[in-house]
């Protein structure tokens, strides 16, 4: 698939919910978006995470895509926004400005170590999460297990399950979406 006509056709099919079209689009544009974000972030993991979130957002909102503009331009603008959001979240979590009075107040706060109640809540949340994971199809369970419980990289998962890297990314993307939907109903 090398022509814009084929891509436009795949985009139209994707708008109708065609999963094969989604996969084709992801495979066609993945390297372009990934390489752009890798240059921008200088970090492979961040670039991969941004790409996954970019394609997730693009596929969720593909119906809003205006064909008067290049699809890759639309994807890159989504990727830029995802990157900006990621930087904002990181900055917000790292820096909190305090006055001297506030600093003294925070120094006098009680110990925040885990209580038995906190541990119970954690265990209940973990049990709910594991229960939801068990409701997923086995191939989704496997990639979730390898990525988040065994902390394997995408490349390691690809080698472990003997599938192409893009397939692993798509499976993780779908697994996370399904898992979020299940968790939302709990």
Task: With cut-offs at 50, 70 and 90, classify the pLDDT of residue 4.
Answer: low
Mean pLDDT for the chain overall: 82
Residue 111 DSSP symbol: P
Dig out the tokens for 26 from the structure: 């992801």
How far is Cα 183 from Cα 19, in angstroms, rounded to an integer?
Answer: 23
CB neighbours (10 Å) of residue 25? 23
Q: Please provide residue 88's backbone torsions phi and psi, each rounded to the nearest 5 degrees.
A: -65, -45
pLDDT over 80 at 56, yes or no: yes
* Terminal CA-CA length for the chain: 42
Global pTM value: 0.52
Dig out the tokens for 127 from the structure: 């049990």
């Amino acid at each position: 698939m090398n022509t814009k006509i084929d891509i436009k056709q795949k985009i139209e099919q994707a708008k109708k919910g065609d999963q094969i079209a989604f996969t084709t689009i992801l495979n066609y544009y993945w390297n372009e978006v990934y390489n752009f974000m890798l240059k921008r972030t200088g970090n492979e993991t961040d670039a991969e995470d941004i790409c996954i979130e970019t394609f997730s957002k693009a596929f969720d909102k593909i119906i809003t895509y205006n064909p008067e503009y290049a699809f890759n331009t639309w994807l890159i603008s989504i990727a830029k926004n995802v990157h900006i959001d990621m930087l904002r979240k990181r900055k917000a979590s790292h820096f909190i400005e305090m006055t001297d009075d506030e600093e003294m107040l925070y120094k006098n706060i009680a110990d925040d170590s885990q209580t038995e109640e906190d541990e119970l809540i954690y265990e209940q949340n973990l049990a709910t999460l594991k229960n939801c994971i068990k409701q997923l199809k086995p191939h989704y369970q496997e990639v979730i297990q390898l990525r988040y419980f065994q902390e394997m990289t995408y490349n390691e998962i690809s080698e472990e399950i003997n599938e192409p890297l893009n397939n692993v990314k798509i499976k993780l993307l779908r697994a996370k979406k399904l898992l979020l939907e299940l968790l939302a109903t709990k």
